[in-house]
């Protein structure tokens, strides 16, 4: 299972975001993080995407870990985010009875 976070902030806030990010504790061994990947978008600022992979049985625990990490950026001017649960197509098909 994966959770994808998407962040956005103005370039003027990049230094503050970086300062907060480097102080994060490491993730537990049962979570694999890919990213964050960042891109500068003209007239929009910095966009970021991070992918967290983990076993579905740990969903609640991992969701709390991720939202706690994201909350460390609250108060940075212009910072916005989303935390999205994504599933594999086979799992989505099973939800509608098309296994």
Token representation of residue 15: 């230094």
CATH code for residues 2-95 = 3.30.70
Q: What is residue 84's three-state secondary structure?
A: strand
Domain boundaries in the chain?
A: 2-95
In the chain the first and final C-alpha atoms are separated, in Å, by: 17
| pLDDT the model gives residue 89 | 87
| pLDDT the model gives residue 61 | 97
Token representation of residue 71: 């909350």
Per-residue pLDDT of the chain (99 residues; tens, 9 = 90+): 899 999 999 999 999 999 999 999 999 999 999 999 999 989 889 999 999 999 989 999 999 999 999 999 999 999 999 999 888 888 888 888 887
- Global pTM value: 0.87
Q: How many angstroms separate the CA atoms of 87 and 6, rounded? A: 16
């Amino acid at each position: 299972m994966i959770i994808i976070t998407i962040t956005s902030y103005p370039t003027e806030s990049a230094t503050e975001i970086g300062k907060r990010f480097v102080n994060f504790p490491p993730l537990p061994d049962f979570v694999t993080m890919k990213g964050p990947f960042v891109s500068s978008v003209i007239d929009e600022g910095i966009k970021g995407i991070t992918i967290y992979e983990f076993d579905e049985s740990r969903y609640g625990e991992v969701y709390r870990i991720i939202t706690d990490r994201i909350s460390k950026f609250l108060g940075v001017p212009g910072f916005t985010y989303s935390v999205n649960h994504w599933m594999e197509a086979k799992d989505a098909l099973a939800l509608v009875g098309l296994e």
